[in-house]
């Protein structure tokens, strides 16, 4: 399911060795007869790249450009009461950005997702790592079953997951609340100070299995000789995990963490779905929800565009910041 | 707002900086159909105003008009129209009315340049669409001559300046729904004033139940309660809007509910959601301040309580007064982009004033007809059994006749509701006063409207 984006298979680094200018050097230095082949190759390459490039421009570059354009303009209205008059777009400079940054609710939303990320991401990654190590350990049983079972929630779209969990959270409907109540405990999953963690629970439920799978695929790539050697040196299962496996899956850990950071900043579906059920989720609960509300409730597309750009910038800064922190360049960093 | 519905998920692992694209996608996954449609449309439509000038349908030409609505059973009258008008077919698309998502979708479609031909739009929201010149001024089509078919103040809800921007469909006079069996068992009188209502709230609480929930995000009902108390949130004078959300009547209402909330005499869960339905079914909440269209809602969601409910007039601030208000109420609006305004108007008029159509709409439970004729009040007692044989529609007919008709809506009401919802949510959590909510929302609304390029004054 492409339904969510808290992680993505690591494929990036294979391509490094094939630099396109190699061929140009080649052509310049060798005899010209090869150029025809080269030209044909270039044409073929162009034909292969073109569809991607066209879609990339249409679906990726153009929307971003449009968002930036929108964020720098505003609507001016004339006519009595603003009704029935003409409206036109005028350049607004950074006014929309200033407006967004002066909006407490928008900033609070940022604070909220950062708090969410600081708590939930380490928790989820740790859990995913633990599950991956368990399933890849020598004594594991029923591996295919457990692997599918843990991965299954990822196949449930975020909206559906939120609806399902919503039923488990809403008092009066939820069996969990009822059971807790019969034990004399009063739990409210949707209260002001719990609702964020209820959402964290949904996200963790959904994405732990996915991240686990990414980690497992990296674990599978570890050559068996290493384990053998370690065992001969007297390492037990814990030593293997601690000193061999975890260091070797570090790239996958970095990757899943970066995707989780981005996914966290873009939290939307869960609060959006739970909002009608919880009197504690406001329209700016997450920055993304705030941008949505600006665009589609208040019909202020320009401000929403500015907020979207800001959100993207923060995601950039945090992702690259994290990569810098762990001392590793990302795959897409333009080298 | 820009966009794209693409799925970048499969391309590669290079993910870091892709911000906006991802954001869009996330929003899409957010799955709200509204969001999805919005994002999709917005990408390609803007600026494509290749003016399809309104045209006259040629004789014998077959056209199809699109119509977005969420009235339950709207397809029945539409089918009836379609069978009688083979050349002007109307295609209904049911839109979600949860949390204003239908308007999100409409705003996006307007922005994208491909709105439907017609849509159901509630009274409060009409001015918001005018800001974008989204609605057709029907006065040019000679709509004035049909004015007398409809209740005066409801017609007036869509009149701004010299323009008429929609055909009224139904209103929602407010009233109080009560579980008579429980009130009898607990020996509680039906409250006639808000003071008595407070006493009733205490008495209900003593029985372990709650008389109501103050749903913080329900700006619509709060507006109705303010309306009843004599508030006038918007006024248009000359070319300037005046906003009066923080006025005396509204403060009175806010103080009243704050005191009920603080003394824990009412719940604060969202209304008309699972938890609330459960409470309504079990009698944990034995009353509801609702509106005429609430009969279908209760009968549909709490069938087990059949025969036990009654409808009563809204409690009054002054004993013996007859002040009432409206919650909800819709129009059928025609979008300015439609190619066939005349046919669309014919349909809108027929839908909302033809007796056969009204009968079908009443069956579906669309509210209180805006049409003056074509039905009897008793026709509206669709769920009479549910209300123990009470001719409950008379309660709402009476309320409708005493609605303060000078109330006017202004632009940006959906934003206003959101502001109110956010501020009440915060006040409930932090213990802030409801008066501070009004102060904040007043200031925000003035600045919101100025941000839309309007001349606005802040009334006290």
- Cα distance from A247 to chain B (closest Cα, Å)? 21
pLDDT tens digits, one per residue of A271-313: 999 998 988 999 999 999 999 999 988 889 999 999 999 999 9
Average confidence (pLDDT) over B323-344: 94
Query: Considering only A248-257, B56-65, B298-307, which range has the smallest mean pLDDT?
Result: B56-65
Average confidence (pLDDT) over B140-160: 92
- Nearest residue in B to A10, CA atom: B13
Sequence spans of domains, chain A: 20-91, 104-325
Interface test with A, best of B8, B11, B15, B212 (most A CBs within 10 A): B15
> For residue A2, what pLDDT is reported?
39
Q: Is the pLDDT of residue B56 over 90?
A: no
Taking alpha carbons only, the member of A196, A167, A211, A168 closest to residue A289 is A196
| C-alpha–C-alpha distance, residues B388 and B386, integer Å | 6
Asked whether the beta carbons of residue A173 and residue B274 sit closer than 8 angstroms, the reply is yes
- Show contacts of B371-375: CB within 8 Å, 24+ apart: B371/B149, B371/B150, B371/B151, B372/B148, B372/B149, B372/B150, B372/B151, B373/B149
> For residue A297, what pLDDT is reported?
87
| C-alpha–C-alpha distance, residues B65 and B92, integer Å | 9
Asked whether the beta carbons of residue A308 and residue B20 sit closer than 8 angstroms, the reply is yes
* DSSP single-letter state for residue A244: I
Average confidence (pLDDT) over B343-363: 95
Phi, psi of B395, deg, nearest 5: -60, -45
Q: Is the pLDDT of residue B161 over 90?
A: no
How far the first Cα of chain A sits from its last, in Å, is 31
Average confidence (pLDDT) over B213-234: 96
Residues of B in contact with A258 (CB under 8 A): 15-16
| C-alpha–C-alpha distance, residues B417 and B222, integer Å | 9
Phi, psi of B452, deg, nearest 5: -90, 5
- Classify each residue of A47-66 as buried b or exposed e, where b means 16 or more C-beta atoms within 10 Å of its C-beta: eeeeeeeeeeeebbebbbeb
Asked whether the beta carbons of residue A5 and residue B216 sit closer than 8 angstroms, the reply is no
| C-alpha–C-alpha distance, residues A94 and A88, integer Å | 18
Helix (H, G, I), strand (E, B) or coil at A295: helix
- Cα distance from A231 to chain B (closest Cα, Å)? 34
| C-alpha–C-alpha distance, residues B425 and B198, integer Å | 22
Helices B19-29 and B33-45 sit at what angle, rounded to 10 degrees?
Answer: 140
Asked whether the beta carbons of residue B16 and residue A323 sit closer than 8 angstroms, the reply is yes
Average confidence (pLDDT) over B360-380: 91
- Cα distance from A157 to chain B (closest Cα, Å)? 8
| Phi-psi label, residue A142: left if phi above 0, alpha if psi -120 to 50, beta otherwise | left
What architecture does CATH give domain A104-325? Answer: Orthogonal Bundle (1.10)
Count of alpha carbons within 13 angstroms of residue B62, beta-carbon side: 3
Average confidence (pLDDT) over B235-251: 91
> For residue A140, what pLDDT is reported?
82
Taking alpha carbons only, the member of A152, A150, A159 closest to residue A267 is A159
Give, in words, the CATH class of B63-171+327-401. alpha beta
Q: Given pLDDT bands bounded at 50, 70 and 90, which one contains residue A328?
A: low
How large a percentage of chain A has pLDDT more than 70?
A: 85
- Nearest residue in B to A214, CA atom: B13
At a CB cut-off of 8 Å and minimum separation 6, what does A226 contact? A244, A248
Q: Which residue has the tokens 């809403």?
A: A170
* Of residues B19, B27, B414, nearest to A292 (C-beta): B27
Q: Does B389 touch chain A (CB under 8 A)?
A: no
Separation in Å, CA B281 to CA A190, B184, B299, B300: 21, 18, 10, 11
Asked whether the beta carbons of residue A60 and residue B8 sit closer than 8 angstroms, the reply is yes
Using an 8 Å Cβ cutoff, are A236 and A210 in contact?
no
Tell me the pLDDT of chain B averaged across its residues. Answer: 87
Asked whether the beta carbons of residue A269 and residue B26 sit closer than 8 angstroms, the reply is yes
Q: Does B409 touch chain A (CB under 8 A)?
A: no
| C-alpha–C-alpha distance, residues A95 and A73, integer Å | 8
- Cα distance from B269 to chain A (closest Cα, Å)? 6
* DSSP single-letter state for residue A87: E
The more confident residue out of A28 and B296 is B296
Asked whether the beta carbons of residue A282 and residue B422 sit closer than 8 angstroms, the reply is yes
How large a percentage of chain A has pLDDT more than 90?
A: 67
Pairing relation of β-strands B63-69 and B88-94?
parallel
Separation in Å, CA B271 to CA B218, B222, B266, B443: 8, 12, 12, 27
Average confidence (pLDDT) over B329-356: 95
CB pairs under 8 A between A and B: 272
Q: Does B275 touch chain A (CB under 8 A)?
A: yes
Helices B341-353 and B75-84 sit at what angle, rounded to 10 degrees?
Answer: 120
For chain B positions 307-366, those within 8 Å of chain A (CB to CB) are none
- Nearest residue in A to B165, CA atom: A84
Q: Is the pLDDT of residue B5 over 50?
A: no
Asked whether the beta carbons of residue A158 and residue B14 sit closer than 8 angstroms, the reply is no
pLDDT tens digits, one per residue of A234-245: 988 889 899 999
pLDDT tens digits, one per residue of A91-144: 999 999 999 999 999 999 999 999 999 999 999 999 999 999 999 887 888 999
- Cα distance from A314 to chain B (closest Cα, Å)? 9
Residues of B in contact with A192 (CB under 8 A): 429
Q: Given pLDDT bands bounded at 50, 70 and 90, which one contains residue A322?
A: very high
Taking alpha carbons only, the member of B222, B203, B223, B221 closest to residue B211 is B203
Asked whether the beta carbons of residue A5 and residue B275 sit closer than 8 angstroms, the reply is no
At a CB cut-off of 8 Å and minimum separation 6, what does A234 contact? none
* Of residues A63, A263, A313, nearest to B43 (C-beta): A63
Interface test with B, best of A3, A84, A299, A314 (most B CBs within 10 A): A299
Asked whether the beta carbons of residue B270 and residue A279 sit closer than 8 angstroms, the reply is yes
Query: Chain-centre distance of CA A121, in angstroms?
Result: 11
Interface test with B, best of A298, A323, A333 (most B CBs within 10 A): A298
Residues of A in contact with B243 (CB under 8 A): none
Asked whether the beta carbons of residue A5 and residue B22 sit closer than 8 angstroms, the reply is yes
Residues of A in contact with B26 (CB under 8 A): 5, 263, 266-269, 288
Residues of A in contact with B412 (CB under 8 A): 298
If you compute the radius of gyration of chain A from its CA atoms, what whole number of angstroms results? 25
Asked whether the beta carbons of residue A157 and residue B452 sit closer than 8 angstroms, the reply is no
Query: Considering only A224-228, A329-333, B331-335, which range has the smallest mean pLDDT?
Result: A329-333
- Cα distance from B121 to chain A (closest Cα, Å)? 14
Asked whether the beta carbons of residue A64 and residue B2 sit closer than 8 angstroms, the reply is yes
Q: Cβ-count burial of A141 within 10 angstroms (0-12 exposed, 13-18 middle, 19+ buried)?
A: exposed
- Cα distance from B378 to chain A (closest Cα, Å)? 34
* Of residues A8, A105, A288, nearest to B23 (C-beta): A288
Q: Does B239 touch chain A (CB under 8 A)?
A: yes
pLDDT tens digits, one per residue of A173-183: 899 999 999 99
- Cα distance from A199 to chain B (closest Cα, Å)? 14
Average confidence (pLDDT) over B398-427: 92
> What is the arrangement of strands in the sheet containing B456-458, beginning at the earlier edge strand?
B234-237, B240-243, B456-458
Using an 8 Å Cβ cutoff, are A105 and A290 in contact?
yes
Average confidence (pLDDT) over B114-132: 93
Q: Given pLDDT bands bounded at 50, 70 and 90, which one contains residue B13?
A: very low
Q: Does B187 touch chain A (CB under 8 A)?
A: no
* Of residues A159, A173, A277, nearest to B270 (C-beta): A277
Q: Is the pLDDT of residue B393 over 60?
A: yes
Taking alpha carbons only, the member of A270, A288, A290 closest to residue A169 is A270
Q: Does B413 touch chain A (CB under 8 A)?
A: no
| C-alpha–C-alpha distance, residues B253 and A105, integer Å | 26
- Nearest residue in A to B18, CA atom: A312
| C-alpha–C-alpha distance, residues A314 and B258, integer Å | 39
- Nearest residue in B to A73, CA atom: B1
If you compute the radius of gyration of chain B from its CA atoms, what whole number of angstroms results? 23
> For residue A112, what pLDDT is reported?
96
Interface test with B, best of A89, A109, A292 (most B CBs within 10 A): A292
Q: Which token pair is A100?
A: 């967004």
Q: Does B99 touch chain A (CB under 8 A)?
A: yes
At a CB cut-off of 8 Å and minimum separation 6, what does A284 contact? A103, A105, A106, A108, A109, A290, A293, B422
Average confidence (pLDDT) over A37-66: 92
The more confident residue out of A144 and A8 is A144
Residues of B in contact with A4 (CB under 8 A): 29
Please report which helix (H) or strand (E) contains residue A90, including its range. Answer: strand A87-91
| C-alpha–C-alpha distance, residues B74 and B456, integer Å | 38
Helices B33-45 and B101-112 sit at what angle, rounded to 10 degrees?
Answer: 10
Average confidence (pLDDT) over B321-350: 95
Tell me the pLDDT of chain A averaged across its residues. Answer: 86
3-state per-residue secondary structure call for chain B: CCCCCCCHHHCCCCCCCCHHHHHHHHHHHCCCHHHHHHHHHHHHHCCCCCCCCCCCCCCCCCEEEEEEECCCCCHHHHHHHHHHCCCEEEEEEECCCHHHHHHHHHHHHHHHCCCCCEEEEEHHHHHHHHCCCCECCHHHHCHHHHHHHECHHHHHCCEECCEECEEEEEEEEEEEEEEHHHHHHCCCCCCCEHHHHHHHHHHHHHCCCCCCECCCCCHHHHHHHHHHHCCCCEEEECCEEEECCCCHHHHHHHHHHHHHHHCCCCECCCCCCHHHHHHHHHCCCCEEEEECCHHHHHHHHCHHHCCCEEEECCCECCCCCCCECEEEEEEEEEECCCCCHHHHHHHHHHHHHCHHHHHHHHHHCCCEECECCCCCHHHHCCCCCCCCCCCCHHHHHHHHHCECCCCCCCCCHHHHHHHHHHHHHHHHHHCCCHHHHHHHHHHHHHHHHHHCCCCEEECC
| C-alpha–C-alpha distance, residues B106 and B34, integer Å | 8
Global pTM value = 0.82
> For residue A21, what pLDDT is reported?
47
Please report which helix (H) or strand (E) contains residue A73, including its range. Answer: strand A73-77
- Cα distance from B23 to chain A (closest Cα, Å)? 6
Asked whether the beta carbons of residue B14 and residue A332 sit closer than 8 angstroms, the reply is yes
> For residue A88, what pLDDT is reported?
81
Query: Considering only A73-82, B202-211, B254-263, which range has the smallest mean pLDDT?
Result: A73-82
Pairing relation of β-strands B368-369 and B166-179?
antiparallel
Q: Which residues pair with A91 in a beta bridge?
A: A73
Helices B413-430 and B434-451 sit at what angle, rounded to 10 degrees?
Answer: 150
Residues of A in contact with B10 (CB under 8 A): 2
Helix, strand, coil percent content, chain A, rounded in steps of 5: 70, 5, 25
Average confidence (pLDDT) over A68-92: 81
Asked whether the beta carbons of residue A332 and residue B238 sit closer than 8 angstroms, the reply is no
> For residue A172, what pLDDT is reported?
83
Sequence spans of domains, chain B: 63-171+327-401, 180-326+406-458
Taking alpha carbons only, the member of B424, B109, B418 closest to residue A297 is B418
Give, in words, the CATH class of B180-326+406-458. alpha beta
- Cα distance from B122 to chain A (closest Cα, Å)? 14
pLDDT tens digits, one per residue of A141-171: 899 999 999 999 999 999 999 999 999 999 8
> For residue A75, what pLDDT is reported?
85
Residues of A in contact with B268 (CB under 8 A): 279
pLDDT tens digits, one per residue of B192-222: 999 999 999 999 999 999 999 999 999 999 9
């Amino acid at each position: 399911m492409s339904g969510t984006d808290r992680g993505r298979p690591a494929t990036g680094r294979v391509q490094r060795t094939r630099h396109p200018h190699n061929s140009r050097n080649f052509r310049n230095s060798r005899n010209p007869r090869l150029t025809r082949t080269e030209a044909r190759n270039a044409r073929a390459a162009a034909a292969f790249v073109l569809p991607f490039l066209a879609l990339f421009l249409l679906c990726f570059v153009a929307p971003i450009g449009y968002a930036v354009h929108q964020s720098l303009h505003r609507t001016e209205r004339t006519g009595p009461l603003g009704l029935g008059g003409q409206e036109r777009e005028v350049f607004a400079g950074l006014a929309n950005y200033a407006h967004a940054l002066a909006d407490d609710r928008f900033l609070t939303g940022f604070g909220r997702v950062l708090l969410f990320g600081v708590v939930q991401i380490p928790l989820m990654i740790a859990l995913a790592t633990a599950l991956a190590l368990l399933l890849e350990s020598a004594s594991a049983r029923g591996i295919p079953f457990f692997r599918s079972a843990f991965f299954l929630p990822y196949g449930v779209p975020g909206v559906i997951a939120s609806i399902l969990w919503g039923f488990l959270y809403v008092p009066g409907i939820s069996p969990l609340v009822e059971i807790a109540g019969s034990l004399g405990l009063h739990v409210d999953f949707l209260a002001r100070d719990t609702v964020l963690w209820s959402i964290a629970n949904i996200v963790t439920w959904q994405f732990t299995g996915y991240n686990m799978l990414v980690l497992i695929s990296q674990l599978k790539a570890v050559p068996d000789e290493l384990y053998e050697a370690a065992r001969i040196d007297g390492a037990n299962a814990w030593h293997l995990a601690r000193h061999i496996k975890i260091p070797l899956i570090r790239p996958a850990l970095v990757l899943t963490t970066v995707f989780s950071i981005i996914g966290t900043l873009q939290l939307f579906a869960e609060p959006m779905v739970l909002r009608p059920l919880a009197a504690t989720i406001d329209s700016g609960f997450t920055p993304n929800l705030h941008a949505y509300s600006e665009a589609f409730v208040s019909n202020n597309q320009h401000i929403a565009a500015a907020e979207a750009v800001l959100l993207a910038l923060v995601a950039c800064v945090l992702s690259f910041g994290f990569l810098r922190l762990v001392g590793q360049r990302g795959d897409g960093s333009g080298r | 707002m820009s966009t794209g519905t693409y799925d970048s998920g499969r391309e590669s692992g290079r993910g870091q900086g892709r911000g906006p694209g991802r954001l869009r996608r996330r929003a899409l996954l957010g799955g709200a159909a509204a969001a999805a449609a919005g994002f999709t449309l917005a990408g390609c439509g803007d600026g494509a105003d290749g003016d399809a000038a309104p045209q006259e349908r040629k004789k014998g030409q077959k056209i199809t008009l699109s119509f977005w609505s969420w009235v339950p059973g709207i397809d029945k009258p539409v089918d009836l129209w379609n069978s009688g008008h083979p050349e002007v077919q109307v295609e209904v698309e049911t839109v979600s009315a949860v949390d204003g998502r239908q308007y999100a979708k409409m705003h996006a479609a307007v922005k994208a340049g491909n709105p439907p031909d017609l849509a159901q739009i509630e009274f409060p929201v009409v001015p918001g669409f005018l800001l974008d010149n989204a609605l057709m001024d029907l006065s040019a089509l000679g709509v004035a001559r049909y004015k007398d078919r409809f209740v005066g103040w409801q017609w007036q809800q869509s009149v701004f300046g010299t323009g008429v921007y929609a055909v009224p469909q139904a209103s929602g006079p407010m009233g109080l729904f009560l579980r008579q069996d429980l009130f009898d068992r607990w020996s509680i009188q039906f409250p006639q004033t808000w003071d008595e209502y407070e006493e009733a709230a205490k008495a209900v609480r003593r029985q372990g139940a709650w008389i109501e929930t103050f749903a913080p995000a329900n700006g619509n009902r709060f507006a109705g309660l303010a309306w009843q108390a004599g508030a006038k949130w918007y006024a248009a004078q000359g070319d300037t809007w005046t906003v009066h959300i923080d006025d005396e009547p509204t403060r009175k209402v806010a103080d009243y509910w704050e005191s009920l909330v603080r003394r824990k005499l009412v719940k604060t869960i969202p209304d008309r959601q699972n938890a609330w339905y459960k409470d309504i079914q079990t009698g944990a909440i034995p009353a509801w301040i609702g509106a005429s269209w609430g009969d279908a809602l209760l009968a549909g969601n709490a069938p087990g309580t059949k025969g036990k409910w009654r409808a009563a007039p809204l409690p009054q601030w002054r004993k013996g007064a007859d002040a009432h208000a409206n919650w909800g109420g819709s129009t059928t609006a025609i979008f300015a982009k439609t190619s066939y305004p005349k046919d669309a108007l014919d349909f809108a008029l027929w839908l909302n004033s033809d007796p056969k159509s009204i009968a079908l709409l009443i069956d579906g439970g669309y509210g209180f007809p805006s049409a003056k004729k074509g039905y009897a009040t008793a026709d509206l007692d669709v769920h009479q059994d549910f209300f123990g044989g009470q001719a409950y529609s008379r309660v709402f007919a009476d309320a409708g006749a005493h609605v303060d008709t000078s109330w006017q809506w202004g632009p940006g009401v959906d934003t206003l509701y959101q502001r109110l919802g956010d501020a009440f949510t915060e006040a409930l959590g932090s213990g802030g006063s409801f008066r501070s909510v009004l102060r904040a929302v007043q200031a925000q609304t003035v600045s919101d409207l100025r941000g839309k390029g309007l001349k606005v004054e802040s009334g006290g």
